[in-house]
Structure 1
Amino acid sequence: MKVIKNSLSTIFMALCAIVLMPAQEAMAQNLDVPYVPTRQVVVDAMLDIANVSENDVIYDLGCGDGRIVVTAAKKHGATGTGVDINPERIAEANANAREANVTDKVRFVEGNLFEVDLSEATVVSLYLLPKVNMQLRPKLLQLKPGTRIVSHAFDMGDWEPDQTIEVDGSTIHFWTVPERK
């Protein structure tokens, strides 16, 4: 009888996995932004243009495998948080932080980047699509004046960047949150 219960339990779990897998794949396909890793040369340039230092708290929205936050901690001494909706990316980011020995400086949060509290941020990094950047723009403009925003590839509409550079075929935009009027 015990063998039958174990077999039924195994069959039930397998069926659940088969039923849930297409739903998970559909969710992944409906993410606002596809996962495309930022090349390390671009990561380094993003952190340099934002002048990241050990005094900074960086938030990477749509962090993927965590390479921006991990690099900010390892090379610049910053602390940081990466946010991504995909649990696989969060697991990867945590593994990369362990490998780089920066788990005391970084954390990764599975969640919606529109819902995360950015009030501690001194730097926010993005590699999102133009539509998503525009949706985030009001939230970013509410951050503390002087907060630095750096985006790989995509701009913020008519919010003119303080600086735009080209690095190895990639565009990087940089803004500083202005004083409120």
Structure 2
Amino acid sequence: MSQTALNWQTAPGHQVLAKAGKKILRPGGRAATEQLFTSANFQPGDTVLELAASFGHSAIALAKQHQVEVTGIERNLESVEIAQENIATAKVTDQVRVIEGDIFGLDRVEGEFDFVLAEAILTMQTPAGKAKILKGVRDRLKPGGYFLSHELLIGHRKTEICQALSSAIRVNANPLTEIEWVQACETAGLEVECHQMGAMGLLTLEQMLKDEGWFGTMKFAWNALTRPQLRERILRMRQVFQDHQNELGYIVLCAKRP
């Protein structure tokens, strides 16, 4: 199916990067997600609710690698339709489904889950938005279930950094410090059992190669080189990340519903 053309000046950063060919859009990349999944210790048949599942790529990979059942919710109907096509192509319709839904309306999602997964979702929300989503996460977890989170970390709460990020990615950016991320979960009634932190290298060559491979990285570079407006947005984001590299990182955490 055809995809809607993006307005390069106003489109959110993650959509711009995806249009350029980037598949791994989390601040800590594939390695940080693997850290998170190791902490989760999935068992075959576990149920996972993924927030903002987009085209279903991560849900499909998770189901195949760990033999779990994944329900993804995605607000954009076009993305849901693409995800459903991808699920059928991957032949995992018995393990994966992506449905239309809003991360602020998790009470409308039926059932409880062993895990709820959110990667690079909460960073883009206001404090009130974070609190609402986390409350919904807790309510969708089975007692003893786990919330798995991978988000942007900031060393100090600096208004100018958040403003620079928001300007570059065209979406509200409100990363938290280590203590603030833990407190946000605990305020929602989730007990953080473990968390790890590291450098944010979303657009560094080293992380690009690890996340996308040589072919994917070259495809991304070619798309940027041959599309001036796309290149301008990517370079702007990369510059902001570089300017504040000492203050930005990633955090992955595993929090339990008692």
Please, what TM-score do these two structures have when normalized by structure 2? 0.50
Please say which structure displays the higher CA radius of gyration.
Answer: 1
The aligned amino acid for 1:76 is H
Q: Percent identity?
A: 22
Q: Structure 1's 97 and 43: CA in aligned 2 closer, same or farther, altered over 3 A?
A: farther
- 1:138 pairs with 130, 135, 140, which one? 135
- 1:117 pairs with 85, 109, 118, which one? 109
Q: CA RMSD in A?
A: 3.1
1:13-41 per-position Cα deviation (integer Å, ceiling 9, x unaligned): xxxxxxxx8xx98xx96x9x965733433
- 2:252 pairs with 160, 164, 172, which one? 172
Aligned length: 153
2: distance between equivalents of 1:158 and 1:81?
A: 22
Asked whether the 8 Å contact 1:153–1:171 carries over to 2, the reply is yes
1:126-171 per-position Cα deviation (integer Å, ceiling 9, x unaligned): 1212433321222233332211101111536261621112366432
5+ residue gaps, structure 2: 18-24, 153-180, 201-249
Superposition pairs for residues 75-86 of structure 1, below 5 Å? 75-86=65-76
2: distance between equivalents of 1:167 and 1:71?
A: 23
2: distance between equivalents of 1:110 and 1:158?
A: 25
Q: Structure 1's 153 and 73: CA in aligned 2 closer, same or farther, altered over 3 A?
A: same
Q: Structure 1's 56 and 114: CA in aligned 2 closer, same or farther, altered over 3 A?
A: same
Please, what TM-score do these two structures have when normalized by structure 1? 0.68
Answer yes or no: is 1:64 the counterpart of 2:61. no
- Per residue, is there more helix in 1 or in 2? 2
Asked whether the 8 Å contact 1:70–1:102 carries over to 2, the reply is yes
2: distance between equivalents of 1:122 and 1:81?
A: 11
Asked whether the 8 Å contact 1:82–1:107 carries over to 2, the reply is yes
Which consecutive segments of 4 or more residues in structure 1 shift more than 4 A?
Answer: 33-36
5+ residue gaps, structure 1: 1-20
Asked whether the 8 Å contact 1:43–1:68 carries over to 2, the reply is no
2: distance between equivalents of 1:103 and 1:47?
A: 22
Q: Which residue of 2 aligns with 1:6?
A: none
